[in-house]
Amino acid sequence: MARPSRKDEILQAALACVTEQGVDGTTIEMIRDRSGASIGSLYHHFGNKERIIAALYMSGTAQYAQMLQRGFASADSAEACVRLLVTSYIDWVVANPDWARFILHSRSRVEAGEMGDALREANREHFAQIFAALAEYRQQGLFKALPDDCFASVVIGPTQDLARNWLAGRTRSELRDCRELLAQIAWDSVRNGG
């Protein structure tokens, strides 16, 4: 396994700090101390705390997007693609609960900050890749006719809601135990004739 880059080490340190102290309570000095990086290295890689926070957010969402792309490469049906959207999300959240919690609570901050345009562009690319993977199935009429933003909300919305509650400790059910149920609900909700 490859050794993490200095940039990745800084991001992991930042995640640990924001998990323990919250975003507002985390200082660049805390991140420096936790990562062992020099101030010069922090500023070289990121520039400031807000850029570290944005990079942390975008790195986490990019991991999920990469999982999806690997999955789409072997998904061989409309149902498999929709199920993949749900199961990959759950798998990533269960494997990365602190990062997922950070992402769920930090989107508006990143969008409002200096990296907001970069986040919006990354989101556009992410959704374009999803809809490209689904395009042939949509053309075949295998999905209900839904606007793109509505389609995405119907597929992933219930899963994100349960994940948010699970991450906050407000569920009795384990998120991973609901994986197949939520995937089936997503498929049933968007398939044509469902």
Phi, psi of 191 (to 5 degrees): -75, 140
Phi, psi of 120 (to 5 degrees): -60, -40
One domain for residues 119 and 184:
yes
One domain for residues 73 and 25:
no
One domain for residues 104 and 18:
no
Q: Which domain holds residue 141?
A: 60-190
One domain for residues 69 and 154:
yes
pTM of the model: 0.90
pLDDT at 1 over 80: no
One domain for residues 115 and 22:
no
One domain for residues 34 and 81:
no
Residue 52: inside a domain, yes or no? Answer: no
Gyration radius from the chain CA atoms: 18
Q: What angle do CA 159, 184, 138 make, to 5 degrees?
A: 95
For the chain, the domain total comes to 2
pLDDT digits (tens, 9 = 90+) for 32-61: 999 999 988 898 899 899 999 999 999 999
> Chain centroid to CA 84: how far?
14
One domain for residues 94 and 168:
yes
Looking up residue 161, the CATH number of its domain turns out to be 1.10.357.10
- pLDDT at site 6: 86
- pLDDT at site 19: 96
One domain for residues 66 and 149:
yes
Residue 54: inside a domain, yes or no? Answer: no
Nearest 10 degrees: CA dihedral of 52, 58, 60, 64? -170
One domain for residues 7 and 72:
no
Per-residue pLDDT averaged across 114-129, rounded?
Answer: 93
- How would residue 179 be classed by pLDDT, with cut points 50, 70 and 90? very high
* Token pair recorded at residue 67: 């999982």
